[in-house]
């Protein structure tokens, strides 16, 4: 992979995002939430700092969801049978997404309270 051009690496990354959109309802839900945040930002026209904070927060949630998806698919491939360790790993990854999502919601509520 190190020898591939930046364009090819970006295309692989885009394929991952497309696959997550196709097969992961949670990813689609977070994308729609991000769209909602962007529409509220356009409507409210806050200071640039709020744009940066909210967009970075949304990006972090989407990135965590992609990592969770990657981990789930890898673990399901490596261990098709149920295994307690696999369950713990998948639950922890989902918990990370949940924590980031709650944090993102708190940031959005703070934004709404201030504007």
Report residue 7: phi and psi, to 5°: -65, -45
Per residue in 87-114, pLDDT (tens digit) is 999 999 999 999 999 999 999 999 999 9
pLDDT at 80 over 70: yes
Per residue in 2-61, pLDDT (tens digit) is 788 999 999 999 999 999 999 999 999 999 999 999 999 999 999 999 999 999 999 999
pLDDT at 1 over 90: no
Q: What is the pLDDT, as a whole number, of residue 7?
A: 93
Q: What is the pLDDT, as a whole number, of residue 14?
A: 97
Report residue 97: phi and psi, to 5°: -65, -40
Query: Looking at 24, 47, 65, 114, which residue is catalytic?
Result: 65
Report residue 83: phi and psi, to 5°: -145, 135
* Active site annotation includes 65: yes
| Cβ neighbours of residue 62 closer than 8 Å, sequence gap 6 or more | 27, 30, 31, 34
């Amino acid at each position: 992979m190190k020898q591939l051009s930046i364009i090819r690496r970006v295309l692989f990354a885009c394929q991952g995002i497309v696959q997550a959109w196709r097969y992961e309802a949670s990813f689609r839900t977070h994308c729609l939430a991000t769209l909602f945040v962007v529409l509220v930002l356009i409507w409210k026209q806050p200071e640039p700092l709020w744009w940066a904070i909210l967009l970075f927060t949304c990006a972090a949630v989407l990135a965590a969801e992609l990592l969770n998806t990657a981990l789930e698919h890898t673990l399901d491939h490596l261990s098709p049978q149920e295994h307690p360790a696999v369950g713990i790993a998948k639950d922890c990854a989902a918990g990370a997404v949940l924590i980031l999502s709650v944090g993102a919601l708190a940031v959005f509520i703070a934004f709404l309270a201030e504007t």
